[in-house]
């Protein structure tokens, strides 16, 4: 990807993904003209700037703003070429209690980003999604499904404008804020670990893998795709064994809006899904001709953490957990 003289903006830039993304592109010395960290939390920006200062990295810009505020987005998007949209409200239980707040940020915020980008000179947008947007059973997932639909549909009314909108979808990121592994690590010395269900499985993706996948998708995206990485699964009981093999498990029951397994692709999507190297790509019908290297998946194919053909062992999990 040619980044010379390009400006990139990351919404939710002080979150787990945003920080990892910024650190990666600085470490790999991508030649961005400007790297704009857009978020609403001044404390997180202050703390991040102490670690990644504009004095040490002159290309960095810290921009306080909320994706709900369209006028602020207009200022932030000036002379921006690429947008990574990572900002979202994500906590499942909080969404059930505060539905309008999640709608305002995850849906109206997405609409604001699309409309503002169309009014500016932005060329590419990658929006981050979640497994919870697939056959959603909670409000958070429903808002992210709406967001995904908005970004995919935006390609239909861009006209002749040189801009593309794509989506990257993956499950829980290992070690990110709010994920189960940091919580389990805090219980390392306990004899009993609370687990919602012994049957539970999850897809495994590290922050570093997520960052690299987004950069890869940014490079090949045309517009309208939903990119899904090929990643292994793990059993939640194996995570407990990896952290403390002597502990016992206490089943506490599934929380409201929680699934036993993660879904990334449903059988209904299989008609428009291609297998492409290290990923699956869900395409609008008119995009199939652009991905000649890919092959349509079999009829009724689905991608589920419980039926995945690759699972991490306890030893592999232990090694990964130590690294985060």
Residue range 71-89, pLDDT digits in tens: 999 999 999 999 999 999 9
The pLDDT value recorded for residue 275 is: 95
Q: What percent of the chain has pLDDT over 90?
A: 80
Contact (CB, 8 A) for 247 and 193 = yes
pLDDT at 182 > cutoff 90 = no
pLDDT tens for each residue of 12-60: 999 999 999 999 999 998 999 999 999 999 999 999 999 999 999 999 9
The pLDDT value recorded for residue 287 is: 73
Looking at the annotation, which residues are catalytic? 132
pLDDT at 183 > cutoff 90 = no
pLDDT at 218 > cutoff 70 = yes
* 29 backbone φψ class: left, alpha, beta (φ>0; ψ -120 to 50): left
pLDDT tens for each residue of 284-313: 876 766 677 789 999 999 999 999 999 999
The pLDDT value recorded for residue 178 is: 66
Question: In the chain, what are the domains?
Answer: 6-172+205-230+264-303 (3.40.50.720)
Mean pLDDT value across the chain: 93
């Amino acid at each position: 990807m040619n980044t010379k003289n390009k400006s990139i903006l990351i919404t939710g830039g002080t979150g787990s993904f945003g920080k990892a993304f910024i650190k990666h592109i600085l470490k790999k010395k991508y030649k961005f003209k400007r790297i704009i960290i857009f978020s609403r939390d001044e404390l997180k920006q202050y703390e991040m700037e102490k670690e990644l200062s504009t004095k040490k990295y002159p290309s960095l810009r810290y921009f306080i703003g909320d994706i709900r505020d369209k006028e602020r987005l207009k200022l932030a998007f000036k002379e921006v070429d690429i947008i990574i949209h990572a900002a979202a409200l994500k906590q499942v239980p909080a969404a059930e209690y505060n539905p309008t707040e999640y709608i305002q940020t995850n849906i109206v915020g997405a609409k604001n980003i699309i409309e503002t980008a169309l009014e500016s000179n932005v060329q590419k947008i990658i929006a981050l999604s979640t497994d919870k947007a697939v056959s959603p059973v909670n409000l958070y997932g429903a808002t992210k499904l709406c967001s995904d639909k908005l970004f995919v549909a935006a390609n239909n009314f861009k006209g002749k404008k040189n801009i593309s909108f794509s989506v990257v979808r993956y499950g829980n990121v290992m070690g990110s804020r709010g994920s189960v592994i940091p919580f389990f690590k805090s219980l390392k010395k306990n004899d009993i670990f609370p687990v919602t269900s012994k049957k539970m499985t999850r897809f495994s993706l590290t922050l570093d893998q997520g960052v690299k996948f987004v950069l890869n998708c940014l490079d090949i995206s045309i517009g309208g795709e939903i990119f899904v990485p090929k990643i292994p699964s793990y059993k939640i009981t194996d995570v407990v064994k990896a952290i403390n093999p002597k502990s016992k498990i206490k089943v506490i029951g599934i929380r409201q809006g929680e699934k036993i397994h993660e879904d990334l692709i449903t059988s209904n999507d299989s008609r428009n899904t291609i297998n492409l190297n290290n990923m699956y790509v869900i395409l609008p019908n008119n995009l199939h001709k652009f991905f000649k290297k890919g092959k349509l998946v079999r009829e009724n194919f689905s991608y589920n953490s419980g039926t995945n053909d690759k699972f991490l062992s306890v030893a592999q999990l232990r090694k990964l957990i130590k690294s985060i």
